[in-house]
Chain A
């Protein structure tokens, strides 16, 4: 599903965020990327969604070299990937429902099907009763679950999450981790950047240190 082939990423003016990285994540696999702050976890995820381009090597997603994609092809790659961002990127002037609807509007879903899917996604993360609320009215754990609902509403077969349990207390973090396990159980490929490896037992572990993969 994901293949890194001797990937390097150097940010200007000359900082190597990732160097000579090679690994694979198989279809239906759950993997976590751990490592200290600044190790390159977010950069790794951004390369998969082509938010950043590698400065060396190739990043393949579903066999496609995403670093070489034309700008006009990027939207269609991103619609196949569910993303939970480190800073969540919720829209605070839109309701819970509208936040989850956004990816479907973007993909041009017919409104009636879209509404059904939004409700199904909210139901999966336990926010079915909060669809009219504004994100500001949600607790930290609920906001994180909202971000997950938005990531999965398009039913992607690849889900990326950047520190989805940071800033959450232990019980809430365990709730969120359980949701990822549920998606893994139904066959979604999952890659999570996290310090909290213990929340994801059975997941494949990739450890980054200063942009290098540790054995």
Chain B
């Protein structure tokens, strides 16, 4: 083995030995870092899931046109042909009320409610996509459709997609903000831990300097200590987010089904996981570097 490889291995082992040498202290630091990182990591998990949900749900803005419940099928047919011929309409999909009823009955959460109702509570409906899907044009079309006979309600489906979009942007910003804020906190924890370590190993530092150790040699085990602390905290956060995902999966899935959405909550993917661990390791290293600059005295 090359001498510098041995040097790094020895420094890493020494750092591990020091971590293990004060298990309670180390555990508390790891937990503090882990819990702090769980907030942005959990935020990222939610944002990623919401993005996925938004991706699988219609991204093309649509207009839903609902007939009055009392309207007969003939009225619906008239509206369908009128829609088909209307300028600016690209595509019309007819949703017969029987189909809607069957689909909703497939949802165990709703079945009992629906069966308790007399008759079919759902109206015939159409889903319309427009050639021009800018919000103003869509809104204008919706206004027209509202005037038509036997049309009870017209809804712009793009509205909630856009709201979700805005929410996602907010979520992402909040995650970054939290990450930055708590990242600074993590640096502070690492800074303090390394300061303690330097104090505890004062004698060893001094004798190493007297025996001809370079600054790099002396700093190395402390830097590894900081990186290990950050990485360990990152792993704690990763586990916490994984556990939270697992806990939330069933209740959130049920809630989503009520809205006729299919949502299976996923934990952080490979990219986000490595980002989390890399971020945590870097912050630990940064805290250690600043602490060493502050507290290591030349001899």
- Which residues of A does B touch, CB under 8 Å? 49, 51, 71-72, 74-79, 83, 85, 89, 91, 102-103, 105-111, 150
Contact = CB atoms under 8 A, between A and B. Distances in A.
A77 B7 CA distance: 20
B208 A76 contact: no
A91 B299 contact: no
Given A75-B213, A109-B3, 14 more contacts: A51-B210, A51-B299, A77-B212, A79-B211, A89-B207, A91-B204, A103-B211, A105-B7, A106-B211, A106-B213, A108-B3, A110-B6, A111-B1, A150-B211
Name the residue among A79, A105, A111, A150 with the largest chain B CB count within 10 angstroms: A105
B298 interface: yes
Nearest to B4: A108
Given A71-B298, A89-B203, A111-B6, A106 B217 contact: yes
Chain B contact patch, size range? 20 to 34
A64 to B, nearest CB: 15
8 closest Cβ pairs, A-B complex:
A79-B212, A78-B212, A108-B3, A75-B212, A89-B207, A106-B213, A103-B211, A75-B214
A105 B10 contact: yes
B1 to A, nearest CB: 8
A69 to B, nearest CB: 12
Contact of B210 (A85, A107, A110): A85
Contact of A91 (B7, B10, B207, B217): B207
Interface in B275-299: 298-299
Contacts of A111: 1, 6
Nearest to A91: B204
Given A106-B217, A110-B6, A111-B6, A89 B298 contact: no
Name the prevailing secondary structure of the B interface residues.
helix
A71 to B, nearest CB: 6
Interface in B1-21: 1, 3-4, 6-7, 10
Name the residue among B209, B211, B214 with the largest chain A CB count within 10 angstroms: B211
Contacts of B299: 51
B206 interface: yes
Given A71-B298, A111-B6, A78 B210 contact: yes
Given A71-B298, A89-B203, A91-B203, A106 B212 contact: yes
A71 B212 CA distance: 11
A105 B213 CA distance: 9
A103 B212 contact: yes
B256 to A, nearest CB: 56
11 contacts: A76-B212, A78-B210, A79-B211, A79-B212, A83-B210, A89-B207, A102-B211, A106-B208, A108-B4, A110-B6, A150-B211
B251 to A, nearest CB: 51
A102 B7 contact: no
A51 B209 CA distance: 9
Contact of A102 (B1, B3, B208, B214): B208
Name the residue among B4, B203, B206 with the largest chain A CB count within 10 angstroms: B203
Contacts of B208: 102, 106
Nearest to B206: A89
Nearest to A79: B212
Nearest to A76: B212
Given A75-B213, A76-B212, A78-B212, A102 B207 contact: yes
B206 to A, nearest CB: 7
Nearest to A111: B6
Contacts of A107: 212
Contacts of B212: 74-79, 103, 106-107
Nearest to A81: B212
